Amino acid sequence: MDIGAINCLSYEDFVRILGNVVERCPVVAAAVWSSRPFPSVAALEAAIDDFIEALPESGKEGILRCHPDLAGRELQSGTLTPESREEQGHAGLDRMDASEVARMARLNAEYKERFGFPFVICARTSDKATIAEQLRVRLRNTHAQERARAVEEVKKICRLRLRGLVLADQNNKL
């Protein structure tokens, strides 16, 4: 689907198709729909980024809380969104041994206890070792530093998901 097709979508179709570019937050797609037409994918990305940045800090944390724990219960039970399942699989989180899963669960719990939201990292551009290391390193951040860092990771995830949806058909036409 190209940006022209995205611009022609009804509100319902726009939200249905783009509703999970920010994990479990279709309100983000709903909010930017009225900004159409977007001259480019970059303009759509910017509209989403601007919406997220305009949220109060509590709203940003709300978006973060919609993300699943990495290598957590939802991965183990098969209840992740298709996008998260693919991303966590790409990072190798679905191929961890019992000790790795236990270590990740401990780090996730420590992180959530410290910050009040799940650890968010762009798993598609990481591997399980990098993710575990970043979890350890980012536990040293202040709450404000970590919220800002996690929001930037949400934006990375969103951009990759959006480019996969909007540009996929163009790539197939080549």
> Which residues belong to the active site?
67
What would the two tokens of residue 158 be? 């969103």
Residue 137's Cβ-count burial label (10 Å; 0-12, 13-18, 19+) is: exposed
Helix axes 143-173, 57-65, angle to 10 degrees: 60
Question: CA separation (Å) from 162 to 11, 23, 102, 117?
Answer: 17, 12, 32, 24
The number of C-alpha atoms within 13 Å of 87 and in the hemisphere containing its C-beta is 26
Q: How far apart are alpha carbons 135 and 129 in whole angstroms?
A: 10
